[in-house]
Amino acid sequence: MHLARLRLRDFRNYARLDAAFAPGFHLILGDNAQGKTNLLEAIYLLATLRSFRGVGGAQLIRHGARGYWMAASIVGPLRHEVKIFWSPRQRKLLLNNQPVRRLADYYGTLRAVVFCSEDTQLVKGPGRVRRRFMDLLLAQTHPPYLNLLQRYTRAVRARNALLRSRRWDEHALAGFTRETVAAGAEIIRLRRDLLPRLAPLVGAAHARIAPPGEALQLAYQPSSGELDLARALEQSREQERASRLTLVGPHRDELALLLNGKPAAQYASEGQKRTLALALKMAQAEFLTDHLGAPPILLIDDVMGELDLKRRSGFLPLLERNRQAHGQVFMTCTEENWPRELSRSLHRWEVRQGSLHPLA
């Protein structure tokens, strides 16, 4: 799978862009604040319909414009054409010129893994960041998962609305509780099944880039504890009445990251957190490759310059495997810090004030 063509209109600082990309390694050079990261953000948005910077659609519109538009040609087993338009008043998502009615019908059209400075939030950020990490992996590899997650989210929102109302409708609450349990129990099962397949990949990646003697452990911790979800919700009823919120379920679960037996968020150094976050993203890319038989597009945002020799040496095999599988990589950096180890076959581009130009 690769991105063959990308067109942007009024996206971030790109008034207009039209570029064709071959498979292989694309080095995006340029000074700071010229639009390198914005280009990677656009590709990631095509893959996940989200910004990896955690911002909403309004922040992606070029200053003074009414909305942004993007289009892409994606080549895999089949060729797909994607078009997205977003404005405060109108949103459109077209796949092969047909409106996308369900997001599950779109997910998997383009698969991408991003490496960026925000990745440390996987370790030190709130639990929702780690839940989103698991959910994205499952949505990209298990097509029914996204619909299941949407079912659960709707049920919890409706349940919370009833809990906040002045007069409870016990019959309606029981109905939404049943839907919460039905969807939530399946989400918990799928997340639990994911961990034994993901954890060895994270551990192997961490061993390649971390100093000797650092033992890493991943554990999925449901908020329901050892109880099944229905029983846990029943036991939390009094607390729910006081808080007016659903307190137990997959939306409160945690992916625990332990380094030498201690929570990494509290006890790991900043360097250890960066190493652990990098290992998680490397494992994400390898998991998708193993599951789907082809590598995802790798988006690497000025990360190599931050890596010491050991972490860089441990990261390069992932890029080499991607090259051997005829995958596609987009890496941003400045002229001063681009990795010379990759110089054998590169497509070089320069970004300057929102314009992208190929370099000889």
DSSP assignment of 91-142 equals EEEEETTEE--SGGGTTTSS-EEEE-GGGGHHHHS-HHHHHHHHHHHHHHH-
Structural Rg of the chain based on CA atoms: 22
Assess if residue 268 is contained within a domain: yes
Assess if residue 245 is contained within a domain: yes
CA–CA separation, 178 vs 116, rounded Å? 40
3-state SS, residue 244: coil
CA–CA separation, 3 vs 1, rounded Å? 7
Assess if residue 79 is contained within a domain: no
The number of folded domains in the chain is: 1
Assess if residue 345 is contained within a domain: no
Assess if residue 327 is contained within a domain: no
Q: For residue 169, what pLDDT is reported? A: 81
* CATH number of the domain encompassing residue 142: 1.20.1050.90
Q: For residue 323, what pLDDT is reported? A: 83
CA–CA separation, 78 vs 291, rounded Å? 18
Which amino acid would we find at residue 68? Y
Dump pLDDT digits (tens) for 29-86. 999 899 999 999 999 999 999 999 989 999 999 999 999 999 999 998 899 999 999 9
Q: Which residues contact 157 (CB under 8 A, 6 or more apart)?
A: none
Assess if residue 135 is contained within a domain: yes
The model carries a pTM of 0.93
Which amino acid would we find at residue 245? L
Assess if residue 350 is contained within a domain: no
192 half-sphere exposure, CB direction, 13 A CA radius? 12
Q: Which residues of the chain have pLDDT under 50?
A: none
Q: 274: closest CA among 299, 311, 300?
A: 311
Assess if residue 125 is contained within a domain: yes
Q: For residue 336, what pLDDT is reported? A: 65
72 half-sphere exposure, CB direction, 13 A CA radius? 23
Q: Which residue segment(s) compose the domain that 140 sits in? A: 119-292
Dump pLDDT digits (tens) for 325-339. 889 999 998 866 666
